[in-house]
Chains A and B, each alone.
Chain A
Amino acid sequence: MGDEYPSLFRSEQMSLVQLIVPTEVAHDTIAELGELGNVQFKDLNPDVNPFQRSFVGEIRRIDEMARRVRFFANEIEKEKDVIPVRPLYDSAPLVTVGPRAAQTIDELDVKLSEHESRLSQMNKSYKDLSDRLKELIEARHVLRETAVFFDRAATREIDVRHSLDDSSAPLLQHDDREQQYSAAGDVQLDLEFVAGTIDRTRLSTFERVLWRMLRGNLYMNYIDIQEPFVDPETGVETRKNVFIIFAHGDLLLSRIRKVASSMGANIYPIDANADKRADSMREVTARLEDLQIVLYNTGANRRTELMTIAESLASWQDVVAKEKLIYETLNLLNYDVRRKTLIAEGWCPTRDIAQIQLALRHATEESGTNVPPILHELRTNRTPPTFTRTNKFTEGFQTIMDAYGIATYQEVNPGLFAVITFPFLFAVMFGDIGHGFIILLAALLMIMFEKKLAKSDLDEIVGTFFFGRYIILLMGIFSIYTGFLYNDIFSKTTHFFHSGWTWPEQHGNGTLTAISNGHTYPFGLDPAWHGAENGLLFTNSYKMKMSIVLGVIHMTFAVCLQVPNHIRLKRFSDIYTNFIPQMIFLQSIFGYLVVCIIYKWTIDWSKASTQPPSLLNMLISMVLSPGSVDPESQLYRGQATVQVILLLAAAVCVPWLLVSKPYLQYKEMQKTHGQGYIGLGADEAPREVEDATLEGEEEGNGRAIVEANDEEHDQHDFSEVVVHQVIHTIEFCLGCVSHTASYLRLWALSLAHAQLSEVLWDMTIANVLEMTGLIGLVAKAVVGVLWLTLTIGILCIMEGLSAFLHALRLHWVEANSKHYEAGGYVCAPSHLRWPVC
């Protein structure tokens, strides 16, 4: 296969590249590479803490800008009437590269701070005005409500006066006196008082405190203010009461004032004179009106300001996020102060180097300088990261395999094959046309509304299903196919072709046995089996054999995937030390079993001279008593000999696997030793000294700066090879047996699925099918809904999840263990697009 295009078959070939970037183009270069998004920069200053890096100042500045942008976004969000934020694709792009980049950023900074100061000033004046407004409203309330107290107090005053004036009046005749009304309205009231508002929840405390402090020398009155006060900032409602306290003497009054202020009450100066009160009421009302107009204007101004901000908010957010990433990336580079250059190192796909070169040239042109950044590849003995390009279709499948382990660099990626084998194995366990159709429908809906769903934030569970929508799509399609083969549609059957069985004429009660009419049902299971007494007997035998056939072929395929790995990584000896013996071992026992299964099917046993053999017993006796086959039930002539040969071949493979690889390694080591080389324990230590002296001449060219910082020890330890190979051999040979048996889960799960859907049908719909009339109709509707709910909930979702899990296991354990090393680490290129979108 050509390497012209990137494919899922292997991870990308990576190169370690070094970029030498003059400081003046550094920003634009990183911006350009970030847009491209395929270079993973390495941290060249691992010892420097984040506060001592070269671009801390810029990052601080960007952070400050980001804070301002966030402040605007918050303000816009808080606004009650929604302010439309112009989306990013619709707003004018803010160019932050090129010769005017610095200026653009400066201007943006200034603009942001201007907007911020203007906005916060407006917020402040709005808040002040609202406070004033609140105070005035409270004052109005106090004026209005206290009038009632004064009126009442005035009448009482008169009574008191009268009782004092008339010294001969008996003290206890107060009640009679009260009835009298005197016209002495102009009597001056000289009681002093404090009036104000207080939070209703504090009122009782306030009253009690005052009572105790003044020892009861007060007269307190209060009244509820009906409408609540709403805080414009937080939107919290507070309910307040107007109170008025009459007391005598400056000392008491000052005490009351102190207590009131400490309890958070607002005190308003109220005049005892009714005329003056009326005056101030007028004044307050007039001021209130004025203030409301001013407040409205301020609010409108603020809204206009916010709308101006909303026009370009998205592009600011975008620019700020990008700039931050750019400077964070720049901080990873090595800054050479003397020569005003930055040195970058990173991994990039080899095929993209030309593209990167182009991007570098473009960045130079954009920035208007003539010193281009220099890119060259470095030689390294380090394993590059694994970089697999996926699209929205393959992403899900690749994630399944990445969850098992990241592929070793340039290894065959099982994710490519999982695209088909995963849904197929799932469908073998989930075979039902109806259920397949339901999940296909679900997947199609998710794909149709892909864009809409991707934007809305789904919760975790729905999000997971949405992420796997293409997996579900293929699972649905394959389930419909296997459903046709199993001839199951919601546990019922279809009848498209001529059945291979004819039911004889029926005479009385009893069991009927169908007679073969020479046809074979061409596609799928013969409908005659549906509802037959021995239907399960047949489907069990069929599904069991099918899972063995599919399993052995899947494992064989997985073993074969070793070969491209061995060839690509130039481990040719592995082909005959690992691949060939493994293949022979697998095929001589289990491959033979598959051949026998198929061969047995092709023989017409009704005409054969021998009895059909039990294949399970055959396999057991092949291993336990080699060389002896019962002639009564032999599959073919010479079976005993063939089986002995196969068994011997398998037996030879075990020591072959065990010994050959360590032996080759041993010989290799002998050869190098014979030539007089010795292995260096730590070959980096002497180089360190050399590097220091070389630095002057080479000026850092062509030498990786963090070479071997995190390099693994790759020492060829012979004993390790032996141990590894022993484990590998045992694992493979035992694995062949247990993994083949493990594929029987295909049979078990498909059987369980079919039975469960049959039980569900029998227990719900089958009971109401016979009913007629209105009751029947209602019963059918109710039971139908119940049946559909259970079908979706249990058969599609729960059974589907279990089949998914088992398909996952078959891929991870049974197939991956045959070839997948999964020893890689993932490549995370710097990218400027994802954080914003």
Chain B
Amino acid sequence: MSSSLPTLFILAIAIALGVIGWFTTRKGPNQTLIRTSILLTLACCYLMWSVTYLAQVHPLESPRRAFVAEQ
């Protein structure tokens, strides 16, 4: 059965990726830029995916389509 829980799993994965990204960024003039980019990318992508997913977990509306019988 569909549930909202996968969003939490993916959140955990996204956070883990963020932590890994934070600590594996090498020191250098671009460290801040790379760290920020990794975190923001993860946040944006996760947010949009989870919104899309959640909107479809318990839909109030079902797709309708007009069919014409083929003869």
Contacts and interface: CB of A to CB of B under 8 A. Distances in A.
Interface of A: 1, 4-9, 389, 391, 394, 416-417, 419-421, 424, 428, 478, 481-482, 485, 500-501, 503, 506-516, 518-526, 528-529, 531-535, 537-538, 541-542, 545-546, 549-550, 553, 598, 601-606, 612
Contact of B49 (A478, A485, A500, A516): A485
Nearest 6 pairs of A and B residues by beta carbon: A7-B32, A532-B63, A420-B40, A601-B54, A520-B2, A602-B4
Given A514-B62, A520-B6, 13 more contacts: A7-B31, A9-B36, A416-B36, A419-B37, A510-B67, A511-B64, A511-B65, A515-B62, A526-B56, A537-B61, A541-B61, A602-B57, A603-B58
Interface of B: 1-2, 4, 6, 27-33, 36-37, 40-41, 44-45, 47-49, 51-69
A170 B59 CA distance: 127
A824 B37 CA distance: 25
A4 B56 contact: no
B48 A416 contact: no
A531 to B, nearest CB: 7
A602 B50 CA distance: 11
A389 B59 CA distance: 49
- Residue with the greatest number of chain A CB neighbours at <10 A, chosen from B33, B55, B64, B66: B55
Contact of B48 (A389, A419, A482): A482
B56 A416 contact: no
Nearest to A510: B67
A549 B51 contact: yes
A410 B52 CA distance: 38
Given A394-B33, A419-B37, A420-B37, A553 B63 contact: no
Given A7-B32, A500-B2, A424 B44 contact: yes
Contacts of A514: 62-65
- Residue with the greatest number of chain B CB neighbours at <10 A, chosen from A9, A510, A602: A602
- Residue with the greatest number of chain A CB neighbours at <10 A, chosen from B30, B57, B65: B65
Contact of A417 (B36, B58, B64, B65): B36
A546 B51 contact: yes
A606 B62 CA distance: 12
A606 B63 CA distance: 16
Nearest to B57: A520
Contacts of A529: 63
A556 to B, nearest CB: 12
A500 B52 CA distance: 13
B32 A416 contact: yes
14 contacts: A1-B32, A6-B29, A7-B29, A7-B31, A7-B32, A9-B36, A417-B40, A421-B44, A500-B56, A518-B1, A524-B52, A533-B63, A542-B55, A602-B54
Nearest to A612: B60
Contact of A519 (B2, B47, B49, B51): B2
Contacts of B27: 4-5
Nearest to A548: B51
Contact of A538 (B31, B53, B59): B59
Contact of A521 (B1, B31, B44, B56): B56
Contact of A598 (B2, B45, B54): B54
A606 B58 contact: yes
Given A5-B29, A7-B32, A417-B36, A528 B63 contact: yes
Nearest to A527: B63
Nearest to A391: B30
Contacts of A532: 63-65
A520 B58 CA distance: 9
Given A549-B47, A601-B4, A602-B4, A512 B28 contact: no
Nearest to A598: B54
Contacts of A5: 27-29, 31-32
A159 B47 CA distance: 112
Nearest to A4: B27
A535 B62 CA distance: 9
B65 to A, nearest CB: 5
Contacts of B6: 520, 522
Contact of B61 (A522, A524, A525, A538): A538
B33 A419 contact: yes
A518 B56 CA distance: 11
Contacts of A542: 51-52, 55
Given A482-B48, A549-B47, A420 B62 contact: no
A513 B52 contact: no
Contacts of B1: 518
A513 B65 CA distance: 6
A533 B65 contact: yes
A125 B48 CA distance: 78
Given A482-B48, A534-B64, A602 B58 contact: yes
Contacts of A8: 32-33
A509 B1 CA distance: 32
A501 B49 contact: no
B33 A416 contact: yes
A421 B40 CA distance: 7
A435 B63 CA distance: 26
Contacts of A534: 61, 63-64
A529 to B, nearest CB: 5
Contact of A535 (B33, B48, B63): B63
A506 B71 CA distance: 13
A228 to B, nearest CB: 64
Contacts of A512: 64-67
A298 B56 CA distance: 86
B52 A601 contact: no
Contacts of A424: 40-41, 44
B47 to A, nearest CB: 7
Given A1-B32, A420-B36, A420-B40, A510 B66 contact: yes
Contacts of A538: 59, 61, 63
A88 to B, nearest CB: 27
- Residue with the greatest number of chain A CB neighbours at <10 A, chosen from B27, B55, B63: B63
A489 to B, nearest CB: 16
A503 B48 CA distance: 28
A483 B24 CA distance: 30
B57 to A, nearest CB: 5
A520 B52 contact: no
A526 B2 CA distance: 14
A600 B52 CA distance: 14
- Residue with the greatest number of chain A CB neighbours at <10 A, chosen from B28, B36, B52: B52
A520 B53 contact: yes
Contacts of B29: 5-7, 389
